[in-house]
Chains A and B, each alone.
Chain A
Amino acid sequence: MEYALTAVNLSKRYGKKQALENLNLQIPQGKIVALLGPNGSGKSTFLKLFAGLIHPSSGKALVLGEEAGTATKSKVAYVPEFNHLYRWQTAGEAVEFASSFFPDLDLEIAGKLLEQMQLEREQKIASLSKGMQARLKLVLALARNAPVLLLDEPLSGIDPQSRRKILGAIVESYKPDEQTIVLSTHQVLESEFAFDQVIFLQEGKVALKGDADELRKEHNCSIEDLFAKIYQ
C-alpha cells in the first residue's frame, strides 16, 4: 500500500532547537488526520517538510512515495497559519495566479467556494479581515484536486462564525478515498468529529497516535479530553 505521507527517521533542527526528532510514521491515503500538540511540538515543521518548503536535517519526508520537493508540490495543497498571500492582489487575482501554476485548480469550484465563504473577487487581500483571509487561503486549497491537503491551524485566531464556515467547507469539499487531509489545530472540541486518525506530537516526537474512534474507546474519553490528559 502506498502511503500519502511517510516519515523515515525524519529530523529537523533549527540551530540548537530540535523541532522534530527521528520521526517514523505513515499516514494512509483517504483519511482526515489531526496533528495535535501544544505550541512548539513540531506540527508546523512537520507540515512544512511535507509541503517541500523546508529540508530535513536527516531522514526522509515522502509524499506518495516520492521525496518531498519541487516535484511533489503539484500533489500537495498547503495552507500555512499566517497570511501568505500577496496583499496587493485581489481575491480573484490570487485565485487566477494560483491556477496558472496548479492545473488541478478548478476555477468553477473556486468561484462557488468564494461565494460560500462570502468573499468578493474584487476585494483587495490587504483589506480582508483575518477570518476572511483564512477563508480565502482555504478556497485556494479546497478548489484544487490535490491528493494531499496540509492545513496548518486553519481555525487559529478566527471568530466562531468563520470557524464554522471553514470546518463546513473542509468536510463538504473532502473527497474520501481520493484525498488525505492533515490538519493541525488547537480547536479540538469543534473539529474532532471530522478526524479519522490522530497524531499527538510532543517535543518533536510522537506521543500517541491511532484511529480516532479506537482512541476514544480505549481511553473512554473524547479526543479533546485525551489532549488535556497528554499535555497536562
Chain B
Amino acid sequence: MYTLLKHELKRRRLAALLTLLAIAALYAYTFRLLGRLTEPVAALGLPALALIFPLILWALWLHWQSLREEWQEGTTHFLFSFPLRGWQVLLAKGGAVAIYFLIFTLFSAVLGGAALVKGFTAAGSPLSREDLRQLIFSDGSKLYVQYLLVAFSLIAYSQLAFILGQISSRWQGMLSAVSFVAIFYLVGKLLALLEPVINLLPEVSFSFGTGSFNPWYMVAAFCFSLLAAGLAGWLLDHKVDF
C-alpha cells in the first residue's frame, strides 16, 4: 500500500507544485497589500481565510479526479488486477490527497503567520510572542484541525458518491452527483437525529475568536466519514465491475 501511496504522490506532483506556486504568489500579493493596511483586523482575516476554502475544494477535486481518471484511462484493469482490497486503494488515494492538503495548509499557515506579524507591525501594534503562540497553537490550530476534518469528510463522501455511480452501467456521472448531494442530506438528517444525544455529552471549548462550536458534531461527522470510506471500499470489492 505504501507503493501505491508513493505512486499517487508522484502522479500528482506537478499539480502540487503549481498549487504551491499559486499559494506563494497569492501571499506575495497579500504581503504587498498588507503594507498599505492600518487595520489589524483586516490583516488577521486576509491570509488565513483566503486559501483554506480553495484548498478544501482542491483536495476534493483532486481526489475525485484521481479515481475518475482510473476509469477514464482504462487503468482500473491494471490497478485492480493487483491483490489489493478496495479500502487499501482508497486509503492510498485519500492519503496522498491528505498529505498534499497538509503540506499546502502548513505552507499557507507559515506564510499566513508571517503575514499576521507584518500586518500587526504595519498597524503600529506588533504581536507579542505570547499573542503569536496563542494564535498559532490555540485558535489557529483548532481552525486548521476543523478544516482538515471537513476535507477528510468531503473526500470520503465524494469517493462513496463516485463509486455508487460506477455500480450502474448507465448515467454514472449523474448518479454520482445525485449520490453526493444525497449523502450530505443524509448526514445532515442523521446529525439532527443525534442532536439530543450530542447535547447530553460534556461540553468542550472549541472557540476560535469569532464564535464557538460543539466539537461532538464534528466527531459524529468524522465517524460518518469513516463509515462512508468503509462502505466505498466494500462496494469496490463486491459490487463494482471494472
* Chain A contacts for B29, CB-based, 8 A: none
On whether A84 and B7 interact (CB within 8 A), knowing A70-B83, A73-B81, the answer reads no
Q: Does A80 contact B (CB under 8 A)?
A: yes
Classify the interface of chain A: helix, strand, loop or mixed: loop
Name A85's contact: one of B3, B78, B238 (CB within 8 Å).
Answer: B78
Does chain B have a CB within 8 A of A162? no
Query: B83 to A73, Cβ gap below 8 A?
Result: yes
Residues from chain B with a CB closer than 8 A to the CB of A53 are 76-77, 80-81, 241-242
Within the complex, the shortest CB–CB distance from B60 to chain A, in Å, comes to 22
| Contact A69:B77 (CB < 8 A) given known A14-B169, A15-B170 | no
Contact B241 A101 (CB under 8 A): no
| A231 in the interface (beta carbon within 8 A) | no
Asked whether A78 and B77 contact (CB < 8 A) given A101-B82, A101-B84, the answer is yes
Q: Is B84 in contact with A97, judged by CB distance below 8 angstroms?
A: no
Contact residue among B7, B76, B170, B239 (Cβ-Cβ distance under 8 Å from A97): B7
Interface positions of B from 100 to 158, Cβ below 8 Å from A: none
- Let me know if A101 and B3 touch, CB within 8 A: yes
The answer to whether B84 touches A70, judged by C-beta atoms less than 8 angstroms apart, is: yes
B242 A88 Cβ-Cβ under 8 A: no
When the two chains form their complex, are residues B74 and A82 in contact, meaning their CB atoms are under 8 A apart? yes
Interface: A55 (CB within 8 A): yes
Asked if A84 contacts B241 (CB within 8 A), the reply is no
Determine if A54 is an interface residue (Cβ-Cβ < 8 Å): yes
CB B220 to nearest CB in A, in angstroms, measures 31
* B-side contacts of A51, CB under 8 Å: 81
Residues in A with CB closer than 8 Å to B75 are 84-86
Chain B contact patch, size range: 20 to 34
List residues of chain A with CB within 8 A of the CB of B77.
53, 78, 80, 82, 84
**Contacts of B45-100 to chain A: CB distance below 8 A:** 73-78, 80-85
Contact among A55, A73, A88 for B241, CB-based, below 8 A: A55
Contact B239 A55 (CB under 8 A): yes
Q: Choose from B81, B169, B237 the contact partner of A78 (Cβ within 8 Å).
A: B81
**Chain A residues near B238 (CB-CB < 8 A):** 55
| Cα A60 to Cα B169 with chains together (Å) | 21
Interface size class of A (residues with CB under 8 A): 20 to 34
Q: List residues 68-112 of chain A with CB under 8 A from any CB of chain B.
A: 69-71, 73-74, 76, 78, 80, 82-88, 97-98, 100-102
Chain B residues near A48 (CB-CB < 8 A) = 241-242
Q: Restricting to A99-134, which residues have a CB under 8 Å from any CB of B? A: 100-102
Complex CA distance for A51 and B81, rounded to whole angstroms: 7
Residues of B within 8 A of A76 (CB): 81
> Residue B11 at the A interface, CB < 8 A?
yes
The smallest beta-carbon distance between A86 and chain B, in angstroms, is: 6
Q: A15-B170, A85-B75 are in contact. Are A69 and B242 (CB under 8 A)?
A: no
Q: Which residue of B lies closest to A45 (CB)?
A: B241
**Cβ–Cβ < 8 Å partners of A83 in chain B:** 74
B residues 212-242 in Cβ contact with A at 8 Å: 237-239, 241-242
Residues of chain A contacted by B3 (CB below 8 angstroms): 97, 100-101
Name the B residues within 8 Å of A73 (CB-CB): 81-83
Please determine whether B84 and A84 come into contact, CB atoms closer than 8 angstroms.
no
Shortest CB distance B67–A (Å): 14
State which of A70, A87, A97, A100 has its C-beta within 8 Å of the C-beta of B73: A87
Kindly list chain B residues whose C-beta atoms are within 8 Å of the C-beta of A84: 74-78, 81
A12 CB to nearest chain B CB (Å): 9
How far, in angstroms, from A217 to B85 measured CA to CA in the complex? 47
Q: Which residues on the A side are within 8 Å of B237 (C-beta)?
A: 69-70
> Which residues of chain B are within 8 angstroms of A54 by Cβ–Cβ distance?
241-242
Q: How far is the CA of A210 from the CA of B73 in the complex (A)?
A: 37
CB distance from B153 to the nearest CB of A (A): 27
Which of A52, A80, A86, A98 gathers the greatest number of chain B CB atoms within 10 Å? A86
Q: What are 12 of the A-B contact pairs (CB < 8 Å)?
A: A15-B169, A48-B242, A53-B76, A69-B237, A70-B237, A80-B77, A84-B75, A86-B11, A86-B73, A87-B73, A88-B11, A100-B3
The 3 closest A-B pairs by CB, nearest first: A84-B77, A101-B82, A54-B241
* 9 further interface pairs, Cβ-Cβ under 8 Å (given A78-B77, A78-B81): A14-B169, A15-B169, A48-B241, A52-B81, A55-B239, A70-B84, A82-B77, A84-B78, A102-B83
